[in-house]
Amino acid sequence: MGTDGDHIHIFIGTAPRYSPSRVMQIVKSITVIDLLKSYPEIKKQME
């Protein structure tokens, strides 16, 4: 994993049955759930 300004680079190895877009969908879902648990005020700003 590495960072570059306002984004990150990650290397993920998965089973061939998962498409890259599905893998990123899962990563983004997990990330936002964790983010909202840690910073509930963000959810209020999204409303």
Tens of pLDDT, residue by residue over 8-30, are 888 889 999 999 999 999 999 99
Is residue 31 one of the residues assigned to a domain?
Answer: yes
Residues 6+ apart with CB under 8 A from 28: none
1 HSE (CA, 13 A, CB side): 3
pLDDT for 9 equals 82
Is residue 6 one of the residues assigned to a domain?
Answer: no
Is residue 34 one of the residues assigned to a domain?
Answer: yes
pLDDT averaged over the chain?
Answer: 87
Task: Provide the domain count of the chain.
Answer: 1
Residue 30 gets which letter from DSSP? H
The residue segments making up the domain with residue 38 are: 14-46
pLDDT for 1 equals 62
pTM for the whole structure: 0.65
**Bridge partner list, 3:** 8
User: How far is C-alpha 42 from the geometric centre of its chain's CA atoms?
Assistant: 15
With pLDDT > 70 as the criterion, what percentage of the chain qualifies?
94
Is residue 40 one of the residues assigned to a domain?
Answer: yes
Is residue 32 one of the residues assigned to a domain?
Answer: yes
